[in-house]
Amino acid sequence: MAFLDWRSPEHFDHTGDQPCVLCDKPTPLRSDNGKPVHKVCAEEWIDRHPPKEDGK
């Protein structure tokens, strides 16, 4: 199972919750790209979408 280390402050948006891009429930968490997403949702998505052989 994937494990993301989101302890750094840039993964928390103090301006308020937004709907998670994967489950639509509110979250203050943000991905590396700034998208609102729960850590658990992101980890589950990574597990379901493994990298392909050619790295894409």
Q: What is the DSSP string of 33-50?
A: TS-B--HHHHHHHHHHSP
pTM for this entry: 0.84
pLDDT per residue over 11-35, tens digit each?
999 999 999 999 999 999 999 999 9
pLDDT at 56: 57
Identify the band that residue 3 occupies on the pLDDT scale cut at 50, 70 and 90.
very high
Q: Output b/e per residue, 14-39; b: 16+ Cβ within 10 A.
A: eeeeeebbbeeeebebbbeeeebbbb
| Average pLDDT of every residue of the chain | 92
